[in-house]
Chains A and B, each alone.
Chain A
Amino acid sequence: MRCEDVSQALPEIVDGAATADLALRRHVDSCLHCQAELAQYRKLLRTMHQLRTEVLEPAPGLLADILARVEEAGERRALKSLLTKRRVAYAGAIAATAAAGAAGAVGRLPHETGLEQSLERERHSRLGDAGPARDLCPGDRRAGPDRAQDCLFVEPFQQRWGRHGAIVVKKLYQCKAY
């Protein structure tokens, strides 16, 4: 083995991460030049460890800056959490209102008898929408109760969150015949 080969290998084996093979160890044992190089690497590593304990004092104000940024992030997180809770509460309130409205609306429709209400429920069930929670449908009013099944309520109940957290209620129903 030549000194150049040992020199290539020394940076890897100096900290014990890689093991030196027998040929390399024998060469180092008998070569003063390579022993000196190994000693230099060991000294380098010792000095690196010593540098670890050196204190590099940051300029004043760093601690305050760190804490301010963390506090700001904490406030943002708290606000986000609060908004999320409010959204859930609003959504619950909207759903409850819609359900109550649905129950009331059935009773308010003047042209719907018990039979018509059954037909209406069946129709909405077939269409897969949320039921007759709506204002009086103009299509129904024009066509009369016997045309009720031609009146298709195609848009289901929708609610969306606006960009700033406000609830935007889109159309409840849209009648094709209107």
Chain B
Amino acid sequence: MDQAELVAAAAAGDSRAFEELVRATYTDVYALAYRLTGNEEDARDVVQEAYLRAYKGLKRFRGDARFSTWMYRITANCASTAMTKGKKHRHEELEDEAPLADARPEHDPEAAGDAELLRARLNAALEELPPRLRAVVVLRDMYDLPHQAIADELGISEAAAKVRLHRARRRLRERLFPKSEEESAHAV
């Protein structure tokens, strides 16, 4: 059975079909939850809650998107709810305008030309972002969700989602490609 058939069977009450859907998607959903929450414990809670909501709302799934995309939206919503419930967030206290640029030239991945190092540094930079910025940039640039869907699931306006995306991209770029003194002088 393909994913659409599994969804139809699960919506008709076939619990085995739903189990198959969970097996096929849970690692990917967990990865998203982890990226949104920034820690394993919260990610596990978010994933469980997301599948529970999916199970209860399966009949409302219209099938105009892939099941996995639908799960991403639910996961984003659950993560947003979890974050607003005042759970502990390691980086919530960071100010929006706090400088994140790493000025150490020996850590410049561009110079090293190492794609793996760049990914590792991007992961670290993502973890350092405030959760509300991280959520938008992950959902948009990693999972390709449209602005409106992101805004809906995070409970913000589309304009606010775009502003957050703009800030998040700037922060990440500054973190990954720190300016040399020469470039800083040029900017001034």
Contact = CB atoms under 8 A, between A and B. Distances in A.
Interface string A122-152: 0000000000000000000000000000000
A74 B52 CA distance: 10
A53 to B, nearest CB: 10
Nearest to A12: B166
B47 A50 contact: no
Contact of B55 (A11, A44, A50, A70): A70
B181 to A, nearest CB: 14
Contacts of A44: 122, 141, 169, 172-173, 176
A7 B173 CA distance: 11
A65 B141 contact: no
A69 B48 contact: yes
Interface in A63-96: 63, 65-67, 69-71, 73-74
Nearest to B172: A44
B48 A65 contact: yes
Contacts of A11: 165-166, 169-170, 173
Which of A7, A55, A63 has the most chain B CB atoms closer than 10 A to its own CB? A63
A1 interface: no
B47 A54 contact: no
Contact of B142 (A49, A63, A65): A49
A164 B30 CA distance: 38
B183 interface: yes
Which of B31, B110, B118 has the most chain A CB atoms closer than 10 A to its own CB? B31
B122 A47 contact: yes
B186 A33 contact: yes
A115 interface: no
A23 interface: no
A21 interface: no
B47 A57 contact: no
A9 to B, nearest CB: 9
Contacts of B56: 73
8 contacts: A4-B187, A7-B187, A44-B172, A47-B176, A59-B40, A66-B51, A70-B22, A70-B51
Given A70-B15, A73-B55, 16 more contacts: A11-B166, A12-B166, A37-B173, A43-B118, A43-B177, A45-B141, A47-B176, A50-B119, A51-B119, A52-B142, A52-B143, A54-B119, A56-B34, A56-B35, A66-B48, A70-B18
3 cross-chain pairs, A with B, having the tightest CB-CB distances, nearest first: A11-B169, A48-B141, A56-B31
